[in-house]
Amino acid sequence: MSFWASLLPQGTRWTTISSVLQATLVAGQWLNARYTRFAGLQFYQQPVGAITVFTGESPDVVCHELGHAVLDALRPELFNAGLPETAAFHESFGDMSSILTALQVPSIRTKVLAETQGRLNSSSRLSRMAEQLGWGIRQSRPTAVDVDCLRNAANRHYYQAPTSYWPGHALRSFGRANFFAVWMDFCLEDANG
């Protein structure tokens, strides 16, 4: 939250019913997390084999949901727009929130630089969103997630009209892929002077 707090306009308020953004770490059994205006951020747990996945333990998942809340505070009119592209932007904003927040951690930056050997727009810990949650879902629904995480920002998705790429998974990848590629290119250009 400290990342976003420094960027938000003064006086920004949550759009949730509660003036304080509520966060429930274990709201029940489910391999997922969600943001609603009536309950704030809710995270879940579910046993997968011998391992129990707690989605609230994942910084990627937490920052993704927080991203929804931040965007809803800034642009509440997007929440209920009813358009696939708008929903996709909300989702990609959540992933942007996760990626940008992760970049605030020096050890993550060091690890990503080493893992990618400087090719920041390639697959890395940074681009692989919610690896544990993705693993958990993959055990029962192998095609519902990417092969190495929930969604990998380093991918080859290209824009397609909404009717041809629904339902949702590719929608998220569209926004995230564009953001990730552009942002990483920017970082590389900046680093190269």
Partner 1 sequence: MGDNARAAVDEGQARDQKASSVTDDLSAAIEAMKRATHTLVTATGGAQLLAPADEEQGTCAGGSSPAANADSEHLYRSLEETGQLVDVGWSSDLTTLPPDVTHVRLPDGTVKRIGFTAAY
d(CA 186, CA 165): 28
CA 122 from chain center: how many Å?
A: 17
Residue closer to partner 1 (CB basis): 77 or 189: 77
Least Cβ distance, residue 49 to partner 1 (angstroms): 18
Residue 15, classified by CB atoms within 10 Å of its CB into exposed (0-12), middle (13-18) or buried (19+), is middle
CA angle, 70 then 72 then 155, to 5°: 70
Residue closer to partner 1 (CB basis): 101 or 121: 101
d(CA 122, CA 126): 9
Residue closer to partner 1 (CB basis): 68 or 157: 68
Residues near partner 1, by CB under 8 A: 15-17, 27-28, 30-39, 42, 44, 55, 61, 64-65, 68, 72, 76-87, 90-91, 94, 130, 133, 137, 144-145, 150, 162-163, 166-169
Least Cβ distance, residue 28 to partner 1 (angstroms): 7
